Amino acid sequence: MTRSTGQRKFGFRSIRHHDPAVKPFREWLPVNRSFYGSFRLWLQDAGYSQSTLGIYRAAFRLTLGWLDKPYWEIDPQADLDRVREYIAAHYDSPSTRECYLRGIAKLEAYLCERCHRSKPKKPVNWGYYLDPLPGWLAEDVRAYVVHRRRG
């Protein structure tokens, strides 16, 4: 409670989502609440600024509130792609969408680390890199990349 207004201080628990599909923090499962706390500490240990922490935590709360399942049941690919589609459909501001998508990428990395899952590898767009090169050189570049991956 503040002395000036007699109301409690504003915090993330005071945030009211406009979409009833997003479950508020107080209704989350206790394991998801502790997962949220460990995610916050993981970000702080990585040295992110306070504004970045706030944005990533908001994306996290949106994700877990909307998915409404224990964190270990979240599929980093399918479920987080559904959340990305939800953000694209419900947020008009491009900067908000971009920041939330970065936060979801961090959540994906943390989820893979915490649940001992391997992060999916990004596919290489070989055409973009090798089309301008002659065929013999493109084959040599591919062979060299394959050779370096073994190491």
Please determine, for residue 120, whether its predicted confidence score (pLDDT) is greater than 70.
no
pLDDT at 2: 63
pLDDT at 138: 92
pLDDT digits (tens, 9 = 90+) for 10-22: 555 555 556 777 8
pLDDT digits (tens, 9 = 90+) for 22-42: 888 888 889 999 999 999 999
pLDDT at 1: 58
Answering whether pTM is above 0.85, one says no
Per-residue HEC secondary structure of the chain comes to CCCCCCCCCCCHHHCCCCCCCCCCHHHCCHHHHHHHHHHHHHHHHHCCCHHHHHHHHHHHHHHHHHHCCCHHHCCCCHHHHHHHHHHHHHCCCHHHHHHHHHHHHHHHHHHHHHCCCCCCCCCCCHHHHHCCCCHHHHHHHHHHHHHHHHC
